[in-house]
Structure 1
């Protein structure tokens, strides 16, 4: 699919008053999943931008921190050494099998102030590529580059050697329309404010007779205001997400290190109900409700009951082998139920460190069904200054 054809599809969706905030391209959302009955704005916030977690099937909410920790669990920064700091840049072409010029860029950094406090900031920029807009009669209205961005500031607090909590404040800007008109009214860029709340627990222990670290993490992300693209028009939920995970780090000695991680994810946004022929809800709950009601209600509003609620839980699993902090090999698998996004794929990756610099690669292999993200390559380059993680052992 070339960019012009993609533009025609996007504009047709706009003029048909199908919410472009869902950003579907030939049935694929921009977070890589297929359409399902949970509709949110700015799905790019659901993309894991860092290559390390990307190579581990997007698992990482309980994995030890680096300069990219803000993307998964900012609380992990509290376990880095006092006085350490770091910065990272990540980039990935996105859905390149559908659109040749779509991409995601991510910049992050942190500073460990003292034994209790850490600050961090990050910026992500998502480009939907070059899009040719047309009117109802397919007359050319010009070429535009729709884009979205999010800017974060974070604070993490340590509550002892084993536990930390963090919070993030996020500004979101979604510029998809460029002043175009839909159904007679001018649309505008969507804006929102959101927050994340996270926690991480780490404990030194033994597994299989070897030194190990067990950790558990949680991150409630993108809890914030709705997004509207038209004054007085419909407003859409952010992709608020509940992420819960655990990881075991085995340290057998001689510089070897193994990590096994698993995350569970669930969108905290209303599931669309089933309507009868008269447009009335026959199953499920009304999705037009407040943000708090939408978040809390998301755990019990599926038309199919508890069985459908469990289908909405995605699973990310990953493993990592590292040697003397010099290189690492990774693999993972990401799973979504076929009725709830159907995003299923295998990932592979590697990381290399030289002096203060580290580069990570992630490669999305795809799955048995044709994946729109197959052959996706992500990479991250970071620089870290200060001592190594205080929880690590030789």
Structure 2
């Protein structure tokens, strides 16, 4: 009963992320094949608690298909890969991003706010920090009979601190510590269980290789990050806990410096959630398997997440998402961006084109991004404009 309670809380949050199917408990086993109830592919979405940690809060990367692991450093680097900060050209920067959520449904009180920044300690080291706040708006709670009990305002937030250091002229590493708080229905009592705010601690590991000394004066970078490695989270005082959205991301970027005023950056990356893939066929055996998967430790689940898909290696490959984007800068003052994001139809089905603009003058910068869906799967950012405000404090002295 408590497991159902926690699943309901996860569903509350996941429904706000545009997932049409949270898991596939109605798939059919036919010999070695697993199909959906209609004979089509089995939809088996990988889910976790606190999915707001995977929302891209950066309008720059958001305009490039949500790719950002290997881009040049800025105030929003902590979300992707904090090791980028070791190669920052400015001594310090601060950024703030506002992302409306589900505006297409007329919801004006659901949004993501993000503040991030960094300070270089010397040419080899940098520190950074960020605050992420996700508001789920006003929600009317009811009892089992549908009688209103109280109005709540569920919210979640994350505080992160990072340290990054160059290990060589072209290679850097970073460690980020996080505190996560998820208050979905604290104080409510369901089935005799009093809900609490879920709390967790997590860490990110980031790595960047960046070469700006190519023969043509171009720049090449590769970035990798394992994020949200931490303890499980619970919304009640019991032993039932859910996984954080641990994630592996690998990306690359190449910057063509055409002349003194013009440059073009192209980037691509892939990401995979490092949490268990649920058993996708209804039945007692499947329920036991899901219990076994959930009893794993967070570290154990990271390694097993590459081999636990019910349909084997082919399903594991479907769990990777892919992003690609391009950015054109004129005189480091005006930027045009575009990108594409792809997720397999059996793993969430999000597919969309992104576009955006960037403006920079002296220490001030503005980035805008816009998302256009290309599939039937609705996205919480459908046709929504989001923006980031940046302050590069080192630019004024230069």
Q: Please indicate, yes or no, whether the TM-score normalized by the shorter chain is above 0.5.
A: yes
The answer (yes or no) to whether the contact 2:327–2:337 under 8 Å persists in 1 is yes
Equivalent in 314, 319, 322 of residue 326 of structure 2:
319
- The residue aligned with 2:383 is 375
Describe how 1:188-199 pairs up with structure 2 within 5 A. Answer: 188-199=196-207
**CA offsets, 1:118-155, max 9 Å, x none?**
01110000000110111111111121110000000000
Question: Structure 1 residue 73 and structure 2 residue 61: aligned?
Answer: no
SS at match of 1:137: coil
Describe how 1:51-130 pairs up with structure 2 within 5 A. Answer: 51-81=59-89, 84-98=91-105, 99-130=107-138
Counterpart Cα distance in 1 of 2:281 and 2:210: 47
- The residue aligned with 1:255 is 261
**Post-superposition shift, 1:22?**
2.5
SS at match of 1:228: coil
The answer (yes or no) to whether the contact 1:351–1:360 under 8 Å persists in 2 is yes
Describe how 1:151-190 pairs up with structure 2 within 5 A. Answer: 151-190=159-198
Counterpart Cα distance in 1 of 2:63 and 2:11: 25
The answer (yes or no) to whether the contact 1:275–1:282 under 8 Å persists in 2 is no
> Aligned in 2, Cα 1:186/1:18: closer, same or farther, shift over 3 Å?
closer
**Post-superposition shift, 1:278?**
3.0
Give 4+ residue runs of structure 1 displaced > 4 Å after superposition: 13-16, 279-285
- The residue aligned with 1:220 is 226
**CA offsets, 1:251-287, max 9 Å, x none?**
0113101010001000000000145533446988931
**Post-superposition shift, 1:33?**
4.0
**CA offsets, 1:64-120, max 9 Å, x none?**
0111111111111101247x1011100011122244421000001110010121011
Q: TM-score, normalised by structure 2?
A: 0.88
- Unaligned segments of structure 2, at least 5 residues: 24-44
SS at match of 2:347: coil
- Unaligned segments of structure 1, at least 5 residues: 1-12
Q: TM-score, normalised by structure 1?
A: 0.89
SS at match of 1:97: helix
SS at match of 2:301: helix
Q: Which moved more, 1:15-24 or 1:157-166?
A: 15-24
> Aligned in 2, Cα 1:137/1:286: closer, same or farther, shift over 3 Å?
same
Computed over aligned residues only, the root mean square deviation of the Cα atoms, in angstroms, reads 2.3
Counterpart Cα distance in 2 of 1:14 and 1:371: 30
- The residue aligned with 1:242 is 248
Number of residues paired by the alignment? 372
The answer (yes or no) to whether the contact 1:274–1:284 under 8 Å persists in 2 is no
- The residue aligned with 2:312 is 305
Equivalent in 366, 369, 391 of residue 362 of structure 1:
369
Equivalent in 204, 209, 213 of residue 201 of structure 1:
209
Name whichever structure is richer in strand by fraction: 1
Counterpart Cα distance in 1 of 2:95 and 2:2: 36
**Post-superposition shift, 1:205?**
5.7
